[in-house]
Amino acid sequence: MTQPTGTLRHLVGVCLVCLVLAVPCLASAQVLGGPRPRTTAPRAYGFLTAFQTTIDVKYLNGVDADQLFNWDADVSFDMDVVDAGPFRGNLFISIETIVGSEIRGVDPNQNNYTADVSVFARLPRGELSTTFHHVSRHLADRATRDSVAWNSVGVGYGGQFALGRFEFDTGVRALWTVKRASVDYEAEYVGYARVVRPLDERFALFGSADGVTVDVAPLRPSHSDPQGGLVEGGLRISTGVTMVDLFAAWEQRIDLTSDRRERTRWTQFGIRLTAPIP
């Protein structure tokens, strides 16, 4: 029997690392817990010093992925509006569209909007952040009267480091609700970790684990401190123009839609494009 090649041994090793990271962690909901801007950025001076666009499309599978939940498509914009060296001001916008097949073959039925305005302070290791966070949720092509939205303020910390050839990006964030409509969220606490293992100049393996817990007001006694999250792993390809992620994931989402307040679980299979390459 032939011995496995070095690349194959690395592949097996990284898969084991991703499993170790994923197993103990709950998975981060798209609306609660994430998405969010980059935790760190290279020091620069000036206006509009960084701009990054990410697009991903995920196929949803599992017992909770019914006719309302077939696909999840997202686009986000992450920009450093001003950078003064020790500090940088960031604007982050994300738009999520849920696509089902209830009314027609391709039936967009829900849109979720996230906007963050953040100030990051660079430390000798990592960056501290203060954030104003806004989320609104909307049904598409369905009758709705209620506004579902909330505003939060919070703080966070993120940093990057390497262990051998493994590259890590980790962080925490806490957000406290200052205004809300049709939700009972009082605060959310988020932790996340990413690991990347380059194989060569073009290919890398990656894994991630996000977790979020939410404090709620005593409006519904049965709805107490929900938890959610996302674990993900896959192959990263650098084309020279964009970064392509092919991945599989498992998610536990808090509050399925703007009018269905229940937790759900599903698997995801998707592709993500990020440009320019970070």
Give dist(CA 123, CA 237) in Å, integer: 31
Inside any domain, residue 109: yes
Distance CA 71, CA 84 (A): 40
Structural domain includes residue 111: yes
| Domain assignment of residue 50, yes or no | yes
pLDDT of residue 14: 39
Give domain status of residue 30, yes or no. Answer: yes
E strand segments, 123-276 = 127-139, 148-163, 166-181, 185-198, 203-216, 227-238, 243-253, 264-275
CA distance 149 to 113: 9
What the block records as the tokens of 158 is 């993120």
Per-residue pLDDT at 278:
76
pLDDT at residue 225 in the model: 57
Would 155 be classed as within a structural domain? yes
For the chain, what's the residue count?
Answer: 278
For the chain, what is the radius of gyration of the CA atoms?
19
Q: Can you tell me the mean pLDDT for 54-65?
A: 92
Other Cβ atoms less than 10 A from the Cβ of 227: the count is 17
Global pTM reads 0.85
Question: What are the φ and ψ backbone dihedral angles of 6, each rounded to 5 degrees?
Answer: -60, -40
Rounded average pLDDT over 222-249: 89
Query: Per-residue confidence at 2, pLDDT binned at 50, 70, 90?
Result: very low
Q: What are phi and psi of 15, to 5 degrees?
A: -60, -40
Candidates 135, 62, 143; CA nearest to 109 is 143
Distance CA 76, CA 179 (A): 24
Q: What is the mean pLDDT of the chain?
A: 86
Residue 178 gets the label, from left (phi > 0), alpha (psi -120 to 50) or beta, of: alpha
Q: What is the pLDDT of residue 63?
A: 79
Q: Is the pLDDT of residue 3 over 60?
A: no
Q: What is the CATH number of the domain that holds 41?
A: 2.40.160.40
Comparing 222 with 68, the larger pLDDT belongs to 68
Residue 1 resides in a domain: no
Domain with 215, as residue range(s), is: 6-275
CA of 216: how far to CAs of 48, 113, 200, 205, 219, in Å? 37, 21, 46, 37, 8
The CA–CA distances, whole Å, from 194 to 33, 150, 151, 166, 188 equal 15, 27, 27, 10, 20
Please tell me which of 96-110, 133-147, 213-227 the model is most confident about, judged by mean pLDDT. Answer: 96-110
104-121 pLDDT per residue, tens: 888 998 899 999 999 999
Supply the pLDDT for residue 26: 37
Q: How many domains does the chain have?
A: 1
Angle CA 195–196–198, to nearest 5: 160
Per DSSP, the residues of 132-165 read EEEEEEEESSS-----EEEEEEEEEEEEEEEETT
For 259-273, write each residue's pLDDT tens digit: 667 778 899 999 999
